[in-house]
Every structure is written in structure tokens, then in C-alpha cells.
Amino acid sequence: MGAYLRLLGAVWTLTRNDALLPFEADPYYPAGVRVLARALRLVASRRSGRPGERMARSLETLGPVAIKVGQLLSTRGDVFGPVFAEDLGRLKDRLAPFPLAQARAEVERELGRPIEAVFETFGEPVAAASLAQAHDAILRDGRRVAVKVLRPGIERRVQEDSEALALAGRLVARWWPLARRLEPEALAATVIRATELELDLRLEAAGADELSEVMVLDGYMSTPRVIWDGVGKRCLTMEWAQGMALSDPAALEQPGLDRKVLADNLTRAFLAQALDHGVFHADLHEGNLFAAAPAHLYAVDFGIIGRLGATERRYLAEILWGFLRRDYIRVAQVHFDAGYVPAHHSVAAFAQALRAVGEPVFGRVANAVAMSRVLTQLFEITALYEMRLRPELVLLQKTMMTVEGVARRIDPEHDIWAAAEPVVKRWIARELSPITRIKQFAGEADAAIRNIARMAAPVAVEQTPPTSQRPLAWFAMGAAMAGAVFLLAALVL
């Protein structure tokens, strides 16, 4: 019952702020929706401000999960309009902070020491988001750091929001047949799980440490170092990030900043993390990114980490590579191989549909592409070919959408395909080369031989197979070795 009440409360809040079906969009509603919107507007008592301001006000009231949605929407000014996105931008890191005294108490409780034993100074909050806020502090050794502290009572609020979100997923799946292919219940579960993991800052510290090792290999992006002495479940200390947060409008006006290279670095950093290492920062909105001249990017807030298995990485790389070469048949075939499109459809027909999406945008700069039209067309095509949402790819798709939106804001002429090509080409050359395939087959053959040997080995002395059966085991092992040699020879030749 509590989840139902919270869900109704969310609808009431959106309606009261005229953010559910805003009056500014009346000309675009179908006749039936327009009548409903006007009826709901009779109870709207807080209609002041632009649609984005009213939406931000509503989402801030509704809690952390709703704010996460607003953060995603705020990165897509090309879809929802720049003014709407800018109005939602305050949800990234400019929410109301909780008192300094509470933050100090939380840190002391987590670290088990007086705050003066760790920090020379511990200042007021410099940024406040949905789950936590950050404080400017100086360590006893003189280093400047940022201390992230969870909001008091946030765990209970997230649990309540999660129950309402799970209920919404079930209701959508039950009553809206057209949305079932989007797997609303699985989508809700993925969002809930990712948010729950954000509530343990020890895990975030580990994620930041892991990704710092990954980032240094390419140099497209960096992250401040974790100060492990200042880490607890509810607090996290990291060295101060250089540059200015991209959520600050002045960040892109810094002297000497190369916006084109900065946008390219963002796209390449994300793809290198996902493709080369299978682990990526999955919350790359402007509030979590700092920029410094000439084109240095620093990431913070590693509460949401995405991971891809080897198979998913190969499918992603081949799809991107196919688009880069405009080989729509290959892109279509990969979708079928991955099971993204049901087998009863035609590969050639799906390739034709992909061409209709890809050709109008290929090689064009970002500000020449109406992304809202592209997304609408993609949604229509995926529905036509019964493509369902893949829960294991939700974080990847969400991050891709965010990264592309942020890169467009950094450089309105950003060419995502040109930026992606070096990373994807490198992956293809390395992972799909004959030498790599030989190594893969050799590894598989070695594993097969070991498994056969274990099957042929005696379990115990008294169970040793008769001498007459031993040649069969050796014959099986020899056949496996011969097969492996044959595969390697075929690849080489």
C-alpha cells in the first residue's frame, strides 16, 4: 500500500506543478490527451516558471531516484530543448545541502576519530546532489581533498523510492502492452540495484581506484586519487579534482580550452573503458566531469559502474565498426547473432531499416542532426522488428546517451563517428586479428584437452579403468590435439 501511495503522490506532485502534461506542449497533444491535460490543469496550483523549472522542482521533491531521471534528461538539450535541459541542470550538483554539523558528525562516526585528527580544515559543502554532498577540506599533510558524505536517512528514502519504481514497472508491464518490449520491470530492477550500490561509498572508492588504473592506459580521462584513510561506508575522500565542473557555464569559457578535443576525449574515454576493459563510469553527466585547459577531463563520483562481458564487448565493437564502414548488412547480422532481433525477421530487411537511420546522420556534425527525430525513428524501427530492452545493457545505453549529449554541449559540431573510429578500429585490429584468433583457439583447445584428461583420469585407485580402456582415453586426447592443430593451420593458411 505504501508504494501505491508514493506513486500516487508522485503523479500528484507532477500534476500540481503542471509538469506531467505542461500547457506549453498543448499544440502537440492528440485530442484526447489535450482534454486530459486541461482537466489535470484544474488542480495545478504551482504553474510559475518554465516547464523545465517546474519539472526540476517536482523531481527534487520526489527524491533521489527521480532526480537521477532528471539528470539524464538534462544532458539532452538536443532532444528536449536547450532551455528545458538547462533548467534541469541544477539537479546535477546544485540541490539544497544539509548542515555542516551533520556532515562532520557523519564523517567522525564513519572514521572513528575526531575530524581534526584527519583534516586540518573541513569546509562548507561545495556541491550537493541527490544522494550526497561534497565538502572542500585540507588533510593534515596539506593536501586539498573533496570529502563526499551521504545524506542522513538517504537509505530509507531510496528504499521507498525503489518500491514505488518497482510498482510502476509492474503496472506499465501489465497495462501498457506497447511498452512491454522495453522490459519495464527489468529496467526498474536495474536502476534500483545501481542506486542501492551507490549507498556504500567503500564500493565507490574501489570503483574509482579500479577505473583510475584503466584511464591511465589511454590518457583520455583521469580521476583524482582515493585517500583510503578517509573512506567509510558513508564518507569518501579523494584528492581535489583539477579544472572546473562542466555543470558550471563558465567551464567551457576557460582560456586555452580546446572544445573539439575535449569532446573527442570524452567519447573516446567512454568507448575505451567499455570496449578495451569491460568496465566504465556509468554516470558521466556534467556534474561529475571537470575540464581544464587545453583538453583535460577529470571524472568524479564512481557510484555507478557499468560492466560488459567479452561477448557483449565484441557485439558492441562489431556494430560500431559496421556503422563506421556503413556495412549495414554486417550490423544487421550482428544484431541477429546477438539475439537482439528475433530470428524470424529478415536480415536484409533489417539492414535496410538501419540504412534509413544511419545514412541521414553519418558524417554530419552534431548541430546538423535533429536527435529527437533520430530517436523517434529508432524507437519505431525497434518496435517493427520486435527488439526488446536488454537489462544487461541498460547502463551502457544510458551512458552512451549521456556521453553523446554532453559531448554535443561541449562542441556543437562534435562528430561522434569520427571520435569513435580510432578506439573501435584499434579494438577490431587487436581482437579480431588472425593472431588473436589463433591464441583464442589455442586456449580453447588447451582447455578441451585438460577437460578430457580429467574425464579420463582415475577417480580413485580402486576405480582405475582396465588397461583395455586406456587407449580410448589416449585416442580422445590425441583427436582433440589433432583438431586443435587443424584449426590453427586453417587460420594461418
> Which residue is it, cell 570503483?
207
Strand pairing of 289-292 and 244-245?
Answer: antiparallel
Peptide bond preceding 294: is omega within 30 degrees of 0, i.e. cis? yes
Q: Which residue has the higher pLDDT, 361 or 8?
A: 8
Angle, helices 371-384 vs 347-358, to 10°: value is: 170
Please answer whether residues 489 and 451 qualify as being in contact, where contact means their C-beta atoms are separated by less than 8 angstroms. no
Catalytic residues: 283
- Angle among Cα 24, 27, 33 to the nearest 5 degrees reads 95
How many Å apart are CA 294 and CA 258, to the nearest integer? 5
Give percent of the chain above pLDDT 70. Answer: 88
pLDDT tens track for 33-59: 888 888 888 888 777 888 888 999 998
Q: Can you tell me the mean pLDDT for 113-122?
A: 96
| Cα separation, 147 vs 169, whole angstroms | 35
Report d(CA 59, CA 14) in Å as an integer.
8
pLDDT tens profile 441-464: 666 666 677 777 777 665 544 444
What are the sequence ranges of the domains in the chain?
2-93, 154-197, 241-431, 434-492
Segment among 41-55, 56-70, 175-189, 362-376 with least mean pLDDT? 362-376
Share of the chain above pLDDT 90, in %: 48
pLDDT bracket for residue 434 (50, 70, 90): low
| Residue 225, pLDDT above cutoff 70 | yes
pLDDT at 464: 47
> Comparing 211-225, 241-255, 358-372, which segment has the lowest mean pLDDT?
358-372
Q: Is 332 helix (H, G, I), strand (E, B) or coil?
A: helix
Which 3 state secondary structure label does DSSP give 229? helix
Query: Rounded distance, CA 315 to CA 338, Å?
Result: 7
CA-closest candidate to residue 256, choices 224, 298, 218, 291: 291
The position carrying cell 583438431 is 483
Report the Cα 108 to chain-centroid distance in Å: 32
